Every structure is written in C-alpha cells, then in structure tokens.
Amino acid sequence: MLRFGFIGLGAMGLTHVNTVTELCGSQVEIAAVCANNADHIRQALKLAPKAKVFKDEAELIAAPLDAIFVATPNFTHVPLALQVLKARKHLFLQKPCGITAEECRQLSAAADSTDRVVMIGHELRYSPFFQKIKDLVTTGEIGRPQMVWCREFRGPFQKKTNDWIQDNRRSGGTLVDKNCHHFDLMNWWVDSKPKRVCAFGGNAVHRVMAGPDQANDHATVSFEYANKVRGTLHLCLFALDFPKEDLEMGIIGENGLLQTRISSMEILQWKHGSRQTEPRVHSVAAKSGLGWGSHLGSDEIHLEFINCILQKRQPLTTVRACLDATLLAIAAEESIRQGRIIDL
C-alpha cells in the first residue's frame, strides 16, 4: 500500500484527494495532508479520516510517505518540489512547472537527477479524447502539420486565497496559470519546440487588485515552432460562464484539419479537395473527470501516477516533456509586457 501526502487543499488539492480516494483506495493510503484552511481540512478528513494533519510543509515532506501531491499557489511549486525531491519522494506537481524561466531550469535539473517519478499535472494529455488527435496526426491523417489553434472563451477565475491567482508576481500570469495546459497539447501534437512568440493582452473587465501586476483577462498569442508550424491562442475570461464556457482546439495539415467538439466528445475531420459537405466525425469514449471545468484526463492521470510508481517507469508528462509549455506561456506574458516578439 502506497502512502500519499497532499500539500494544498484548495479546489485542485481536494480534487486530487477525492479522485485518489474513489479510484485508488485499494492501492493508496491517504496518510497526510497539509493546508491552512480549516474547512478544507475537514473536507479532506471526511474522505481520509486517518490522515495526519500537518501545518508545516517541511514536516509533511519529512514524514514516512512514498509520494506527495503539491497543489499550492504557483509561486510555491518549485520551492516545494525541490524539497520533495531532496527527500526522495515521488512527486505529483500541479502545473505550471514554474513562474520564471530560472525556476523551470531548477526543476528540470532536479527532475533529471532523481530516480523518483516526477509527474506534472497536465492531465489533458491522458484523456483518450486528446490522445485520439495525437494518434490521427501521427498516422498521417492530415499530412504534415502546418498550424495549430486554441480558442477559449469562458468566465473569470475562481476565487483563490488572497487572490494570488490575480497577481502576476505569484501566479506567473493568466497564460502561465491557465493556458500552459493548451500550449502543452499543441506542443505535443506538433512534436516540436516553440521558438518565438508575440502576444497582446490586458485587463478589461475583471480588475481585482490595483497596480500593474493584475493578471490579464484576455489575450491573443501567435507563436512559431522550430519546424515552422505556426500557432495561435485566443483567450477571454469575460465571455461564456461555466458550464457554458467554450474551448475549441485544432490542428491543420497539408491534407486536412482536425477540430474538437468537446461538448459531444467528437473530433471533426476535414480533408482538402474532398468536397465534403459534412466532416468525418470521430466519436471518442472519454471521461470528463472531476473539478472545475471537468478537466479531461483527470481520472486517468491519477491512475497513471500510481502505475508509474509501481512499475518504476516515467510518465508521459515528465518535467522535460512539459517544460516548453510553461516556457512558452512565460514568454507570451513577457511579450505582452514588453510589446515585442520574444525568442525562446
């Protein structure tokens, strides 16, 4: 029986506790939790009444545990991750990989030097829905990729403790916190490294704090890969409210395109020159999972974390695999601030 500890019991932390309890109870003991919110601790103890409660992260990290979930505010990810790996525990680290390029380098170096499993919480890669797109691209259904896109029109961020998510200095910025997920998928599909980015954005509606560090509530991002594939991302946090929020992603190749229809778990395929009047529809059996926005891949990533530990193998979302998504998001935020193209 694996002994797990959980640092951070906000919306995502409680989702991790709940999912592990529901899906992995025969393999995992939730042995320890650490948080400041008394109500969230009570909610976690309802699921895991035998868990020991820690007030200090370092004490939990030093406890006799096999693995630790870190689901804390973004600016604490890397400092806590480095402590966990130094203590030789397996690590599930909520995205992003860091909020600065230097933090990302520190985490990458630490992950490379350990034999522990280090999984970044980019759960979308684990959903059969997005994996189907990867398979269709890999098998040549649309030919050589040329463009990728993401369009996310949704409501504002959930409330966080002390509004840390609204402060660029603590969250890294909206694109880092939120859209590293989507950059990660597009990087994965294209199978190339992003090389430069130009972005525009601002805060037009949801101003929560005074001063220049308020996170943006809308942005447009254009980027280019080493293999010359081009991509775009459009984000608005004052559009459709949950559960009507809209996420559309797609990839265009020399021979056609793939486009998501997530509401019905369908992928639309169009072929160039075929004179199609309707797209070919790939229906995918995929779980929505738990948590805000019912993140696809949530169930699967928790099961895979356990399997990687037990089978002593590395996950799909290692630090090295996911690093470029965070670095692209960091560079996009820098492009908005500086008003220029940023080379990665």
Percentage of the chain modeled with pLDDT above 70: 98
Among the residue ranges 24-33, 148-157, 210-219, 271-280, the one predicted with the least confidence is 271-280
| pLDDT in the model for residue 246 | 83
Same domain, 156 and 201: yes
| Alpha-helical regions (H) of the chain | 11-24, 38-47, 57-62, 77-86, 101-112, 128-138, 168-171, 174-177, 180-190, 298-311, 319-338
Per the CB < 8 A criterion, the answer to whether 253 and 144 are in contact is: yes
Task: Catalogue the E-assigned strands of 226-294.
Answer: 230-236, 246-253, 256-261, 266-271, 280-283
Range of 94's domain?
A: 2-123+301-318
Looking at residues 76-95, what average pLDDT do you find?
98
Would you say residue 293 has pLDDT above 80?
no
Tens of pLDDT, residue by residue over 86-131, are 999 999 999 999 999 999 999 999 999 999 999 999 999 999 999 9
Tens of pLDDT, residue by residue over 265-290, are 999 999 998 888 999 999 999 876 54
Same domain, 129 and 113: no
Same domain, 266 and 277: yes
Same domain, 61 and 145: no
Would you say residue 220 has pLDDT above 80?
yes
Q: Is the peptide bond before 64 cis (omega within 30 degrees of 0)?
A: no
Same domain, 252 and 309: no
Q: What is the CA radius of gyration of the chain?
A: 20
Same domain, 151 and 260: yes
CATH for 114: 3.40.50.720
Looking at residues 75-83, what average pLDDT do you find?
98
Same domain, 279 and 150: yes
Q: How confident is the model at residue 161 (pLDDT cuts 50, 70, 90)?
A: confident
Among the residue ranges 74-88, 188-202, 262-276, 300-314, the one predicted with the least confidence is 262-276
Looking at residues 130-154, what average pLDDT do you find?
97
CATH for 265: 3.30.360.10
Same domain, 207 and 332: yes
Same domain, 258 and 305: no
| pLDDT in the model for residue 302 | 96
Q: Following DSSP, what letter does each residue of 30-47 receive, concatenated?
A: EEEEE-S-HHHHHHHHHH
Same domain, 115 and 147: no
Give me the amino acid identity at 10.
G
Same domain, 111 and 197: no
Q: Following DSSP, what letter does each residue of 151-200 receive, concatenated?
A: EEE--PPPP-GGGGGGBHHHH--HHHHTTHHHHHHHHHHHTS-EEEEEEE
Contacts of 104 (CB under 8 A, 6+ apart): 78, 97, 98, 323, 326, 327, 330
| pLDDT in the model for residue 289 | 52
Residue 302 is encoded by which pair of tokens?
Answer: 């928790």
Same domain, 37 and 137: no
Domain count, the chain: 2
| pLDDT in the model for residue 287 | 78
**Residues present in the chain in total:** 344
| pLDDT in the model for residue 263 | 86
